[in-house]
Structure 1
Amino acid sequence: MGAIDIVIIILYFAVIAGVGIYGARRATNAEEYMVAGRNLNFFMYLGCLAAVILGGASTMGTARLGYEFGISGIWMVVAIGTGVVILGLFLTKKISQFKVLTISEMLEKRYSKETRLVSAIVAAIYTLMLTVVQMIGIGSLLNVWLGWNLALCIIIGGGIVFLYTTLGGMWSVTMTDIVQFVVMTVGVFFLMLPLSLSKVGGFSALNTNLPSGYFDMGNIGGDRIFQYFILFTLGLMVGQDIWQRLFTAKTPKVSKYGTVAAGLYAYAYAIVLAIIGMCAFVMLPNIEDTQNVFAEMAMISLPPGILGLVLASVAAAIMSTASGTIIACSTLISNDVVRRFFKPDISDKNFIRISRLTTVGIGIFSIICAIWIQDILVALDVAYAVLSGALFFPVIFGLFTKKVNARAAFYSIILSAAVILAGLGIQGITATEPIVYGLVVSLISIILLSLYPTKKDKGEMDVKVG
């Protein structure tokens, strides 16, 4: 990179850090720190939600899949967008009725405190692994840009993110996300896409120089497409990082339409990134590490100055998701475990202090995990596998029916999570079958235990309904 590109990236990081630190001034109580005072308008909400669902895996992962499979590389992010659209159309109205901070807090209102605890643990594992994904992503970018050791790049990039997230919570995340949404939109749609196509000679050149299978929507394989919808469509509908954004909306209308708009944005994002990956296949057919496709393509396609802007846009996508998943994981642990079970009478001031300490711990732990795993798509699969299989049915039944009791929800989560983790251990962490097994176990156990309730279950249900 030229000096001007390095300056642009450094300035961008400085601006983001400054905006994040400024946001800390508004985090004066628990609601401000965790859900930005439930006060975001449509544009702010759309930008924040789109920024959190489209991070390192969506950006670098889709470019990688486009490089390896062509246009069918869109399916991972299409599955994500579909989950968000369904969430907006059918669930936001139900969710907005609960004045809570977390998905686990809602499950306690519907079921029991034990369900809250076990669901918080599952959801915290999910958000932690998503944070690891983003740490790997930003480390990989810095590794390509600067040529430094990957572990060092993960430490530097991850450190910046959890610094401003720790200080300002959701307000810092919100303010930085607005900047990052604009930067990533301009960088990916209006700079990287046209310049990549220009470099290879346009769509006609792609058609000439790519294998015919690269224009087949099913080239990636039906089993993999099915896996993406099982993992990401179901997972996005019950993810704490997504729900926490829903809680920031000013009105249910903002929540509904902003969520649908973010899902549609994801569809467009998927197509653009897959095409960029296809351009990279023409220009760089022998890339050693396909995880770096986007960054390597940017390095050879873009002129000085523009390169810095585009690379900053990728950093924006990754950092926005990382900050969102960090605050989600911190909220689950501090709100649903520490405050609920150990310090129920804690003051707002001390609660924010505990939340910040929790955020620091999560940031450090996620950086260590990222250095150990170092593969974006593997970490992402693990995160969504546990979440989709264990929480989907308890949450959906909890929103739409009063006939499921607390014991059914609790054991459904325990049994399905155990089946999924055991299956991943036996068949490998990229296997689809354990997720399906987990969903089946979750559905069967929740139905059977609700059909044959104990006297205690009936009494608890009467109280809940009353």
Structure 2
Amino acid sequence: MAVNVLGLVAIAVFYVIILIIGIVAGRKSTKSNDAEELFVANRSFGLFVASFTTAATMVGGGYINGTAEAMGRDGMVWAIGPIGYNIGMAIAGIVIAPKVRRMEFSTIFDPFQQRYGNKMGGLLFFPELLGDLFWEAAILGALGTTLSIVLGLNMTMSVIVSACVAVVYTFFGGLYAVAYTDVIQLFFMGIGLVLAIPFAINNPAVDMSRVETSWTGTLEPAMIGVYIDTICMLIMGGMPWQALYQRVLACKSPALAQKATLLAAAISLVLAIPPAAVGAIGAATDWNATDFDGHIPLEYSQWTHIFPMVLQYLCPVSVSIIGIGAVSAAVMSSADSCVLATGSVFANNIYKNIFRPKASDREIVWVLRGTIVAVGAAGAAIALTVGSVYGLFILCADLMYVIQFPQLVCVLWLKCANTYGSFIGFFVGLFLRVAGGEPFLNIDSLINYPLYHEEYGQLFPFKTLSMLCSLFSIIGFSYVTEQLFTRDILSKKFDVFRCYTDNEDIQNPDDVDMERKEPLMTDKDQFRNGRYELRTQNNANSF
């Protein structure tokens, strides 16, 4: 296939514009060389920037291409990715966002390390790392297939160049660069996605009557367990992400964080409609009447390319180029968020808190930048070796649901939650999930849960079971160990995680409440000890 030179020039110009905007927007943070500004942009985001950057982070290439893939191949009943993720984001906005913003954390892993210790908090970083890598791979893979089909570019080169652009401006500008480029990219997305629909649907090869009875899809009774599992995973697995709370923590106030998250969920849900429509159009197309020379009817794996196929074969060249701009914008807006989120947690919670507590801001900044490059490269490598974009889009929420969600719930609301419970819950959830197998990664099952089918695999909602077992393990072991140590049933010399052993001496008399003869406790101190209570006034302002 010949390279579309006009399209190549247009995409190159778009990338240069985004790169310049990102670097210019990031100059504020690079001048100060302050790690806190790179992490949370000095907590300066208003409603407009906060909501737009959060929505743009959600609407990535996997979101667009994956929704079109699921809608076209399986029907609306299975195109539940955007619905689940946005419901989860809305719930997080109502319940979690004001609470964590009020505490002024730097990352969402701060509460884990303050409650459970730095090392346990560091262990909980790995599900986030894998989730971000799968997420980045999904969106880069979506862009790679789009550029290769529509412009005739080599997919490997497309993925590498796209990853490099996102990494470069994130490298220099941190959250400032990411947020302000997200705003521009969101407008590109909206225009490009909507513009393609009227041209595609009016193509002579498209007859929407072909999908009058099939566009809704079907849900076989045997698949109800899988369906429930998937919906729950998307809703609750979409709630613990650092990329979301990085924007929440950058808002000016808890109340604004709540409003921005809810508005972002509404925006991103609306932006799921155009790719869903494109998927339905692809299913209603007589591909024999187009220039498409692939296998007809479309094979299962071909549906992952349905969005770029509609752009290429059903739209004029100018419209397809604009559509590519939409996908490119979506990829940039999410890829930069992935690498920055992982880089922020590694630099702040792993490198600084565990290995180099006395590290300077300059050192932390360079660790952040090095991690951004490494994560960007790893995500690009995965994108070049996977099949279904929608599979990665769903899979990235998997461990976040089974492991991270129960951990987040317990650390924020369970006063007795401790390191023992967290540690056991982590491995209980991980074992039960991995033992169920994962066909997408060619992992065979060790446990055949109820309703197991030789051909279709696990039909029981075992991911939800794994999550619940992890949750109850955290609660149960935390409660038991608290009773053992606080009632002196077990000697504190066995408190290996030092949850109930206090060796800190009071150094400053000003830090002591002289009436009660005990140290004054800040909000974070109270949170660390499981005694943080929401104040009535804050409840009224935020909820």
The verdict on a shared fold, with TM-score over 0.5 as the criterion, is: yes
> Bigger shift: 420-429 or 151-160?
420-429
- TM-score w.r.t. the length of structure 2 is 0.79
CA contact (8 A) 1:70 1:219 kept: no
The alpha-carbon distance between structure 1 residues 40 and 201, as it changes in their structure 2 partners (threshold 3 A), is farther
> Bigger shift: 104-113 or 348-357?
104-113
Q: Distance in 1 between matches of 2:203 and 2:4?
A: 19
Between 1 and 2, higher relative CO (CA 8 Å, sep ≥ 6) is seen in 1
Please, which of 262, 265, 275 is the counterpart of residue 264 of structure 2? 262
Q: Distance in 2 between matches of 1:44 and 1:108?
A: 29
Q: For residue 390 of structure 1, what is the amino acid of its counterpart?
A: I
Please, which of 372, 394, 397 is the counterpart of residue 385 of structure 2? 372
Q: Distance in 2 between matches of 1:224 and 1:319?
A: 32
Q: CA deviation at 1:123?
A: 1.5
1:50 has 2:55 as partner:
yes
> Bigger shift: 429-438 or 330-339?
429-438
Where does residue 436 of structure 1 map in the other structure? 464
Please, which of 529, 533, 537 is the counterpart of residue 464 of structure 1? 529
Q: CA deviation at 1:459?
A: 5.4
Please, which of 402, 416, 425 is the counterpart of residue 429 of structure 2? 416
Equivalences for 1:245-256 in 2 at 5 Å?
245-256=247-258
Q: Deviations over 1:25-80 (max 9, x none)?
A: 12231122122221111111111111111112110001011111233343111001
- TM-score w.r.t. the length of structure 1 is 0.91
1:215 has 2:216 as partner:
yes
1:157 has 2:162 as partner:
yes
Q: For residue 15 of structure 1, what is the amino acid of its counterpart?
A: I
The alpha-carbon distance between structure 1 residues 210 and 387, as it changes in their structure 2 partners (threshold 3 A), is same
> Bigger shift: 272-281 or 66-75?
66-75
The alpha-carbon distance between structure 1 residues 387 and 52, as it changes in their structure 2 partners (threshold 3 A), is same
Where does residue 8 of structure 1 map in the other structure? 10
Q: CA deviation at 1:211?
A: 5.2
Equivalences for 1:62-141 in 2 at 5 Å?
62-141=67-146
- As a proportion of its length, which structure holds more helix? 1
1:338 has 2:351 as partner:
yes
Please, which of 454, 476, 487 is the counterpart of residue 448 of structure 1? 476
Q: Distance in 1 between matches of 2:239 and 2:158?
A: 32
Identity over aligned pairs, percent = 20
CA contact (8 A) 1:74 1:271 kept: no
CA contact (8 A) 2:434 2:445 kept: no
CA contact (8 A) 1:73 1:274 kept: no
1:426 has 2:438 as partner:
no
Q: Distance in 2 between matches of 1:416 and 1:259?
A: 28
Kindly tell me the number of residue pairs found equivalent between the two proteins.
462
1:279 has 2:281 as partner:
yes
Q: Deviations over 1:281-303 (max 9, x none)?
A: 12255345211111111123333
Where does residue 319 of structure 2 map in the other structure? 306
Where does residue 200 of structure 2 map in the other structure? 196
Q: Distance in 2 between matches of 1:372 and 1:92?
A: 35
> Bigger shift: 373-382 or 424-433?
424-433
Q: Deviations over 1:311-341 (max 9, x none)?
A: 1011111221111011111112111111111
Q: CA deviation at 1:369?
A: 2.0
Where does residue 522 of structure 2 map in the other structure? none
Where does residue 392 of structure 1 map in the other structure? 405
CA contact (8 A) 1:60 1:294 kept: yes
2:214 partner SS:
helix
CA contact (8 A) 1:88 1:256 kept: yes
1:103 partner SS:
coil
Where does residue 246 of structure 2 map in the other structure? 244
Q: Distance in 2 between matches of 1:219 and 1:296?
A: 29
1:199 partner SS:
coil
